[in-house]
Amino acid sequence: MATVPLEHSLILAAALFVLGMAGVLARRNVVFVLMSLEIMLNAAGLAFVAAGSRWAQPDGQAMFIFILAMAAAEVSVGLALVLLLYRRFKTLDVDAASKMRG
């Protein structure tokens, strides 16, 4: 079975991560920000899995399961916050919630 070289999967993970980060930094809609965060998490998970397969260790997959669990929790809390944000400001723009400035 042909194996995917580690470099390829890492390059893919990095590309995904940069895409996600660009989304976080560029999008103002909080739902899209959350989705971009998910992409970043998945990029990290991909890197773990690729590394686990490279050294034939189960740790990489275990870490990915952790990341999944954490992502689920994060999404549930995050969506609850999004709802509250929307009720309060009547918009989904994160820049509107900038009261806590120095």
Partner 1 sequence: MLELLWLVPALPFAGFAALALFGRRLPRNATAAVGAGSVGLSTAAAGLVAFRFIAWPPPGEAWTQVLWSWIRTDGFASQVALYLDALSVVMMLVVTVVSFLILLYSVQYMAGEEGYSRYFCYMDLFVGSMLTLVLAGNLLLLYLGWEGVGLCSYLLIGFWYTDPANGRAARKAFLVTRVGDTAMLAGFLLLFTSLGTSQIQEILSLASSRWPPGSATAVAAAALLLGGALGKSAQLPLQVWLPDAMAGPTPVSALIHAATMVTAGVYLIARTHVLFALAPAVQTAVAVIGAATLLYAGLAALAQSDIKRVLAYSTISQVGYMFLALGVGAWSAAIFHFVTHAFFKSLLFLAAGVVILRLGHERNMLKMGGLRRALPGAFAAFLIGSASLSALPIVTAGFYSKDLILYEAWSSPAGGRWLWTAGLVGAFLTSVYAFRMVFLTFFGEMRQRPVERHGSCMAVSLAVLSVLSVAAGLIQLPETLGNAPVLTHFLRTALPPSGAAPAPAAMQAMLQIVAGAVSLAGIWAAYLLFLRRPEHAQDWLRTRASLAVYRLWQAGWGFDWLYDRAFVRPFLRLARANRADFIDGFAEAVARANIALHGALSQTQTGRVRWYAMGIAVGAVVVIALVVFT
Where does this chain bind partner 1 (CB under 8 A)?
21, 24-25, 28, 33, 94-95, 97-102
Q: Write the CA distances from 74 to 13, 68, 69, integer angstroms.
A: 21, 10, 9
Nearest residue (CB) to partner 1, 33 versus 46 = 33
> Quick one: CA dihedral 48, 51, 56, 57, positive or negative?
negative
Taking the complex as a whole, the smallest distance from the CB of residue 83 to partner 1 amounts, in Å, to 17
Nearest residue (CB) to partner 1, 22 versus 69 = 22
Taking the complex as a whole, the smallest distance from the CB of residue 97 to partner 1 amounts, in Å, to 7
